[in-house]
Structure 1
Amino acid sequence: MNLRVWENPWRLMLAINAAVLFGVFLHKIALPPFVPYIHLLVDYHFGFTKRALIGAVVALFTAKVPVWLVFALGGAVWLITAGLFVRLFRRTFGFDAHLPLFAFMAGSPLFLKNFMHTLGHFDIYGCLFAIILLLIPARSLLYVLLATLFSMILVLIHHIHLLMYVPTIAAIVVLRYYLARVANRSDMVIGIAALAATGLLFIAAQFLGTMAVPEADFVGYLQSRMADPTRTGLLGFAYIWYQPLSKEIADTWGRLPHNLLGLPVFALLIWLHTPLWRYFSNSIAALSVSAHRRIVIAAIAIISLGYLVVFAMVFDYSRWISNWAVCLFLILHAVKMLPASREVAPISAGDRKTLIFGWIITLIPRVGIIRPF
């Protein structure tokens, strides 16, 4: 780490990534925040409502919501997430020998750069909570209870988190808490109760959180909370609080033929991270307990299955691919906290193919929300 930026291509990649991130931010704040803004307006004024927690918290501090709050709040959460991830990486790996791994993670268009592009959306909250759970000690059942609280908060922010980040949080709890001890009866009972409570909350949000008042009344209330009520175009997504699950699935399958055209691009992006995936695979193989290896593989399969279900239900494919990759990045950190029988060789800093892959992912600014780029 004592080389100058221009003498080390991996440090140069990180510097370029910082410039790319700034460019993505400038582009983002020039766009109307249709979906993020309306989520700051919706609260529990009409009773229990899905996707309303963030708006309810905002309502505690201000009766009128300015548009700039989307970028201020989203930017603050992004900065906290990025800062905690850097701290987590330093603690898990360190930077001296693992700078290429850091470049493949932090510089990936699937991670921080795409979170910047989706600034104000709810995805990053799941990542933030998972990072916190990777940073704090896992010494008592309070850890399990905190993970349960985080999962419930995520479901109240948006119920799709049950498939997006709750499985990753559950996997982190299993890998960091349950595999570190001989689980007793209390551990098992509380773990099962936590899963059941989170599942019941999801069912309530999905099926009982639909708006009961006429849409005109709902939109009128949202408009009363706007700092600039004349910008009614920002309320165009109010229908999602009335849309049943069957309609969401029908819309997704109607767009499926067109959206599937992006799969080769997603496959290419995943392939460009081959050095990272190879290091991940070697880290799993190096675990000293065979049961741990099987549990990690099962956790990855369950997380991936959750995203397949999301793919069938909601058509924001670029976001789902990105968050799936982020979940794997986080699971890798949890894997490195398990006992290993041998050291895993870091990603080669001088390998030509690895350097090419690193430069390509550095120059890709983000993945997008629905279709690639």
Structure 2
Amino acid sequence: MNLRLWENPWRLTLAVNAAVLAGVFLHKITLQPYVPYIHLLVDYHFGFTKRALIGAIVSLFTAKVPVWLVFVLGGAAWLITAGLFVQLFRRTFGFEQKHLPLFVFMAGSPFFLKNFMHTLGHFDIYGCLLAIGLLLIPARSVAYVLLAALFSAILVLIHHIHLLMYVPTIAVIVVLRHYLASGMNRQNLAVGFASLIGLGALFIAAQFYGTVPVSEAEFVAHLGSRMADPSRTNLLSFGYIWYQPLAKEISDTWQRLPHNLLGVPVFALLIWLHTPLWRYLRNLIAALSVDAHRRIVTAAIIIVSLGYLVMFAIVFDYSRWVSNWAVCLMLILHAVKALPAAKEAAPIKADNRKTLVFGWIVTLIPRVGIVRPF
């Protein structure tokens, strides 16, 4: 190994992170892609259907869906997300030595790219991908608000839970990058309110009117007709989720709650290990030159967090929700960095022994999981 890597522990953590990512990928491709695969089969064959956008797009290109397409599409989304995040970090902070610890706590976090690798094929990453895109493009005109609304609508059509998962973060990015920078006028306020109303209506349509209007047996038979290998009927075992009402999802979540709450101390530990990152976010907010901006950012973080608390009460994929919440805070951090500041927030100290230990632990944790920790 290059001597320079040994002399710079933070560069070494990046090399180890790459090795851990490769290991997570090799493990992932050995697992059965139950939910990701069935999402590629569901389309608008029976009319407007929730969670069907990706499958409908796939149906435009192929009548038969192979299982390997889950990993191709999921892998492509992961690679684009990772590439855009590197570009975002380079533009926001740069890759000088002083910012390497920050990059490790973000890109090397088990909440972020490593967990997206473990959940390859799931829909979470699309919210992150589109949010990063909004952080990279100019936000000077009202067209930016319309584009954010379009991205949010796409996410709700992919899965309506995005209304709580990434749409609030996208709204925060729009407020911080457009409204606080360009000011509020009648036009952009009207577009913003209209977008919120439209997204609310789309969510209601997906949640309450997106149920398949045929029997589950007929629905599953249609999905089977789209499989490249119809013998793998075990991959259709999650067809019931297109028939499960909201009340049933909440009931299942609360029945599992006592067992799932056992993972909360682990989540708390993982969040604590990212203390240098959260401290830096706090310092960025404190350094803002406008008092109103500090209050708005603080309120935005609270609102995004409350959205995830609601998700905790509705759906029991707790490891994914905690991970995506942390990713949302990382994205908001980039938006905060672009706001006017009275002073430069001190970067994470590279020579602090405790910080380095935390960085190594974060590096070596391969993922957080889907439902329960690890």
User: Normalization by structure 1: what TM-score?
Assistant: 0.99
Query: Measured at CA, do residues 349 and 3 of structure 1 come closer, stay the same or move farther in structure 2, by a change above 3 Å?
Result: farther
- 1:192-228 CA-to-partner distances (Å, cap 9, x unmatched) read 0001101100000000001110011000000000000
Aligned to 1:66: 66
Matched, 1:240 2:241: yes
Aligned to 1:338: 339
Rounded Cα–Cα distance in structure 2 between residues aligned with 1:186 and 1:351? 49
Deviation of 1:4 (Å) = 2.1
Rounded Cα–Cα distance in structure 1 between residues aligned with 2:134 and 2:5? 32
Deviation of 1:7 (Å) = 1.5
Aligned to 1:11: 11
- 1:125-177 CA-to-partner distances (Å, cap 9, x unmatched) read 00000000000000101100000000000000000000000000000000000
Q: Retained in 1: the 8 A contact 2:140–2:182?
A: no
Rounded Cα–Cα distance in structure 1 between residues aligned with 2:190 and 2:328? 26
- 1:1-373 equivalences in 2 (<5 Å): 4-96=4-96, 97-373=98-374
Rounded Cα–Cα distance in structure 1 between residues aligned with 2:189 and 2:253? 38
Rounded Cα–Cα distance in structure 2 between residues aligned with 1:134 and 1:361? 25
Higher alpha-carbon deviation: 225-234 or 2-11: 2-11
Q: Retained in 1: the 8 A contact 2:165–2:308?
A: yes
State the one-letter code of the partner of 1:89: F
Aligned residue-pair number: 372
Rounded Cα–Cα distance in structure 2 between residues aligned with 1:111 and 1:9? 21
Rounded Cα–Cα distance in structure 1 between residues aligned with 2:298 and 2:354? 27
Partner secondary structure for residue 4 of structure 1: helix
State the one-letter code of the partner of 1:115: F
Rounded Cα–Cα distance in structure 2 between residues aligned with 1:20 and 1:181? 42
Deviation of 1:344 (Å) = 0.8
Rounded Cα–Cα distance in structure 2 between residues aligned with 1:118 and 1:275? 26
Q: Retained in 1: the 8 A contact 2:21–2:117?
A: yes
Identity of aligned residues (%): 80
Rounded Cα–Cα distance in structure 2 between residues aligned with 1:105 and 1:181? 29
Rounded Cα–Cα distance in structure 1 between residues aligned with 2:91 and 2:109? 20
Gaps of 5+ in 1: none
User: Normalization by structure 2: what TM-score?
Assistant: 0.99
Q: Retained in 1: the 8 A contact 2:128–2:166?
A: yes
State the one-letter code of the partner of 2:64: K
Deviation of 1:6 (Å) = 2.0
Deviation of 1:95 (Å) = 1.4
Deviation of 1:5 (Å) = 1.8
Report runs of 4+ in structure 1 exceeding 4 Å deviation.
Answer: none
State the one-letter code of the partner of 1:67: V
Deviation of 1:191 (Å) = 0.4
- 1:328-365 CA-to-partner distances (Å, cap 9, x unmatched) read 00000000000000011110111000000000000000
Partner secondary structure for residue 44 of structure 2: coil
Deviation of 1:316 (Å) = 0.2
State the one-letter code of the partner of 1:42: V
Gaps of 5+ in 2: none
Higher alpha-carbon deviation: 262-271 or 177-186: 177-186
State the one-letter code of the partner of 1:360: I
Q: CA RMSD in A?
A: 0.9
